[in-house]
Structure 1
Amino acid sequence: MRFMIVVKASKDSEAGVMPGEELLSAMVAYHEQLAQAGILVDANGLHPSSTGWRIKWSDGRKTVVDGPFTETKELIAGYTIINVKSEEEAREWAGRFPEPHMGGGEIEIRRVFELEDFGDRPEIDRFRELEVGRK
């Protein structure tokens, strides 16, 4: 089962401040452990929301809204995806995650849907053909 560890944004990450040497070193060490355990699927940081945009739908209409977005607690600064055998294992690995921002920070852990969770349907077979959701 796959889990996504979501790193919440901070004022610094939204300002484009790059992590310092201490944090980068801790992050590399953590991700090396994930890779050595054979459970690392993907990991990356994200550029500030000022370089992004949102698309909103309402009543069949689409609106594009350019960043930046002001509410940092709702923004993502980065993510790590792991593939583990159980929720307990995901909790154990997430508990080792380094503090994402100096002086605080928050991560959120969410299970990723597997194609099997959607049942046996022709639409899901089309996703399987695309190898969506496969490592």
Structure 2
Amino acid sequence: MRFMMIVKATTDSEAGNMPSQELIDAMQKYNEELVKAGVLLAADGLQPSSSGIRISYPEPGGKPKVIDGPFTEAKEMIAGYTLIEVKSREEAIEWAMRMPDPHGYGQGEIELRQVFEFEELTDDTESQEKEAALRKQAQLQKKA
């Protein structure tokens, strides 16, 4: 089971304030623990929404609309993520509870969401086989 720990943005992260060295050290230690446990798939911080782009689809079948950041409501923004693969929801919660305060100022908030496996989205065997082939091709291109 894959889970994404979504680190919510704060006014500080949206202002582009960089984390302290102490927080960087704590996050690196946490990521090392995830690696040693064999559960870490990816972990990254995101730049503020001022450098972001939003693509919306205001009408069914219509053209997408491009909106440049910054965006409002820091509570709805994402400052980073950690993607893990674990055996259970409970294990994902345990790992999320071990993450240091992601902003270091007592404002941190993490949203934990399970990632859909493609097989959960459709029973269509042809679509599942096509998705498996695409994922395999993407892995091979990474190695090349």
Deviation at 1:100, TM superposition (A): 1.1
Shifted more, 117-126 versus 8-17: the winner is 117-126
Residue matched to 2:107: 104
Q: Distance in 2 between matches of 1:83 and 1:89?
A: 10
Aligned partners of 1:52 and 1:66 also within 8 Å = yes
Q: Distance in 2 between matches of 1:124 and 1:50?
A: 37
Code of the aligned partner of 1:127: E
Deviation at 1:12, TM superposition (A): 1.1
Shifted more, 113-122 versus 82-91: the winner is 113-122
Larger helix percent: 2
Whether 1:19 aligns to 2:19 is yes
Q: Distance in 2 between matches of 1:38 and 1:116?
A: 23
Residue matched to 1:72: 74
Q: Distance in 1 between matches of 2:108 and 2:6?
A: 11
Q: Distance in 1 between matches of 2:86 and 2:102?
A: 22
Residue matched to 2:58: 58
Larger strand percent: 1
Q: Distance in 2 between matches of 1:43 and 1:36?
A: 14
Structure 1, residues 82-111: CA drift from partner, whole Å, max 9, x if none?
000011111111110111111221000000
Gapped regions of structure 1 (runs ≥ 5): none
Deviation at 1:39, TM superposition (A): 0.4
The runs of at least 4 consecutive aligned structure 1 residues that moved more than 4 Å come to none
Aligned partners of 2:118 and 2:128 also within 8 Å = yes
Residue matched to 1:87: 89
Aligned partners of 2:57 and 2:65 also within 8 Å = yes
Structure 1, residues 52-108: CA drift from partner, whole Å, max 9, x if none?
110111222321110000110110000000000011111111110111111221000
Aligned partners of 2:44 and 2:81 also within 8 Å = yes
Gapped regions of structure 2 (runs ≥ 5): 140-144
Q: For the aligned residues, what is the CA RMSD?
A: 1.6
Q: Residues 35-46 of structure 1 correspond to what in structure 2 (within 5 A)?
A: 35-46=35-46
